[in-house]
Structure 1
């Protein structure tokens, strides 16, 4: 598992999410599951399950807002800590974390990608997700500053 934002945002795999000792050690309170596999957790965790295929025709852009709202809800909790995960923690979860970094931390797609690849060298979001992140990034710019034209 990789720490993206200290004591708050983590990126990992389904194995990480299914290891209670890891969740307890990091004091995880919220989880976003992007794998097709449904996991069962104690009621003390808040879970958002967005079952996505890691395919080149999957539309992930429709989930960025929902995931970002969930992560922000976690951040607003005094002791909230969020784990975003998919099967291997390389593609779907990476795209969601990049979407969050774009919307809430002012990153561009390249800067968020570079940040994550330095922290977690195994990332490999599929090209379709990168294209959707580029589109999302331009939409986010428009929302933040409606006078910018594309």
Structure 2
């Protein structure tokens, strides 16, 4: 797939973390508990994820918990029951945490979930702005060939996000890796 701009011959340089922070600070700075940021792909916080009725109302078939095993994050296979498939990513929202090792497996899970008939995916963490946003950005970069800045802008059309600086560095490294292999 080409990038949305259609200029696949020109690969812009990956922006610096400082430049990305400037972009992320722009726009609205408040959020809903959950937002659809891509067709059938939602980013949410733990208040939605911990409410089975909300998950059911949204028609969610798959949950990616990017705060798996962390305090106040109840999600598990048992919590959601047999109607929702569950994928846990045991990530800390810390700049020193290596979230990048989960980029490809999570992107693959999301991609396969969205390919199932009626598939609707909720990616969440505690607040729904850092860990979950980073996982969704990686998915858009890996499976839809967005460069990092385009992925950020695409998600920001629907939700305020703010990955921590460590995750931004890891996303920049992914961006450079993907641009060098295309």
- TM-score norm. by structure 2 comes to 0.74
Partners of 2:113 and 2:163 in 1: CA distance: 24
Max Rg structure: 2
Paired residues, number:
142
Partner in structure 1 of residue 180 of structure 2: 142
Q: Which runs of 5+ in 1 are unaligned?
A: 146-150
Q: Is the 8 A contact 1:38 1:49 kept in 2?
A: no
Partners of 1:109 and 1:83 in 2: CA distance: 21
- Is 2:106 the counterpart of 1:61? no
What is the root-mean-square deviation in Å for CA atoms of aligned residues? 1.3
Runs of 4+ residues deviating >4 angstroms: none
Partner in structure 2 of residue 148 of structure 1: none
Q: Is the 8 A contact 2:147 2:175 kept in 1?
A: yes
Question: Match of 2:112, SS?
Answer: helix
Q: Deviations over 1:60-99 (max 9, x none)?
A: 1100011011101101211111000000001000000000
Equivalent positions of 1:3-22 (< 5 A) are: 3-6=36-39, 8-22=40-54
Displacement of 1:38 in angstroms is 4.1
Q: Which runs of 5+ in 2 are unaligned?
A: 1-33
Higher RCO, 1 vs 2 (CA within 8 Å, ≥6 residues apart): 2
- Find 1:29's aligned residue among 51, 58, 61: 61
Q: Is the 8 A contact 1:30 1:80 kept in 2?
A: yes
